[in-house]
Amino acid sequence: MGIIKTEIKQKTIEKEVTLKGVGLHTGANVNLVFKPGEENSGFIFQRVDLEGSPKIEADANYVTNTQRGTCLEKNGVSIKTCEHVLAALVGLDLDNVIIELDASEPPIMDGSSKFFVEALEKAGISEQDALREEYEVTEVVSYTDEESGSEIILMPSNTYQITTMVDFGTKVLGTQNATLNSISDFKKDIADSRTFSFLHEIEMLLENGLIKGGDLNNAIVYVDKELSPETMERLRVAFNKDSIAVKPNGILDNLTLHHPNEAARHKLLDVVGDLALVGTRIKGKVIANKPGHFVNTQFAKKLSKIIKNERRNNVPHIDVNSEPLMDVNQIMNMLPHRQPFLLLDKVFELTDNHVIGLKNVTMNEEFFKGHFPGAPVMPGVLIIEAMAQTGGILVLSTVPDPENYLTFFMKMDNVKFKQKVVPGDTLIFKCSLITPIRRGICHMQGYAYANGKLCAEAELMAQISKVK
């Protein structure tokens, strides 16, 4: 398994687009505005009805409740029933979008992703400069909910594929399957599949004051029990209809199925939306048996954690004894640094968007004379400096005369030190572009590894400037 940088550019929307509706469970009127998102920002919900317009990233770690939809919460601010919106964003192959809301729940619309897809298409799709990352699956990952028997399995595949298998143990619905072989088929095959409930669930929800925004146009209701005249009247009033009846196929009337297996397709839609919370594109096949929001989001949390660990421990595989791409003399031809402040010995890889370098840490380093001489440890700031010098090779390789340029730090973010570096260690650095180099400004993610483990990481921004 591993994170791979694809040749596919990230995508957002060209302009803002607005939808209006009501929340399914809250019944509150809500305005939803899709806005273009910055590169590498992902999907972000923003509550403009609250002070400071707080943002909640579409992240599995913010999931708090999955009882009647997937709910996110951050710093006391919540977003309810986010999965249909997220499914539309993934289904249209988008990467970075802001979802602005003036209530806690997106509009239910018709209970599917169809209206969100149509709105996003009206907004237009725009390519960005940054390249998309994918998580390439090479080993099976699974999660099982022992209580419900629900299970999700992720296995290797050349593309992102999903199969859902639904069985609620009822005659009216029976067993259904649905498959999405390519995300490009989402709009045609999945987007218009509406949410569904069983009659006994509807009665319970009505008793508890939920589904205030529901009507027979945004939920398929499967009748799994005898309907008494009292229940019929209660439903008629709740759904504001002149009359209500049961169709021969076992669903309440005023709604025609879009697909014979619409329930399984909607469950697939939910899986697409819930797995968007992983935050990284998946290159693999998902098989979901009896999926639901709980098992979906638990799996998303598990996969998110695996990806985070892999991202941190993705040690570059290089043969340190092989001929380097650049030795120390060639490095000095490019970098202005000299001993004792040249902290890079070799460069093994250099592409348009990443560089891999090496430093052998020896006992005769100048800094060991004064930094814990009795128990020598390489100062963390010098590990970051060595990482930055590695990144300097990347940015200076973009000009024909690097010897006439100097590289200066602009900022450092998210600097973390994981373990100490001591004499005898071999440091391997990898710096990858976060955004393309523009006007000599390089924004990159850097990692430093020692003994096969991550020892430091930082987000760096530097600028090259011509020597006057």
Residues in a beta bridge with 448: 429, 456
Question: 25, 84, 266, 293: which one is catalytic?
Answer: 293
Residues in a beta bridge with 288: 152, 164
Dihedral sign computed on CA atoms, order 177, 183, 185, 187? positive
The DSSP secondary structure of 160-219, one letter per residue, reads -EEEEEEE-S-TTT-EEEEEES-GGGHHHHTTTPPPEEEHHHHHHHHHTT--TT--TTS-
Active-site residue 371, yes or no?
Answer: yes
Question: Is beta strand 441-450 parallel, antiparallel or unpaired with respect to 426-438?
Answer: antiparallel
Report which of 219, 249, 259, 257 is spatially closest to residue 235, judged by C-alpha positions: 219
How many other CB atoms sit within 10 Å of the CB of residue 180? 22
Q: What amino acid is encoded at 306 in this protein? A: I
What six digits make up the tokens of 414?
């998210």
Question: 258, 259, 354, 371: which one is catalytic?
Answer: 371
Report which of 58, 70, 133, 25 is spatially closest to residue 298, judged by C-alpha positions: 70
Contacts of 116 (CB under 8 A, 6+ apart): 19, 84, 85, 88, 89, 109
Active-site residue 293, yes or no?
Answer: yes
Rounded to whole angstroms, the Cα distance separating 227 from 245 reads 9
381 DSSP assignment: H
| Catalytic residue positions, numbered | 293, 371
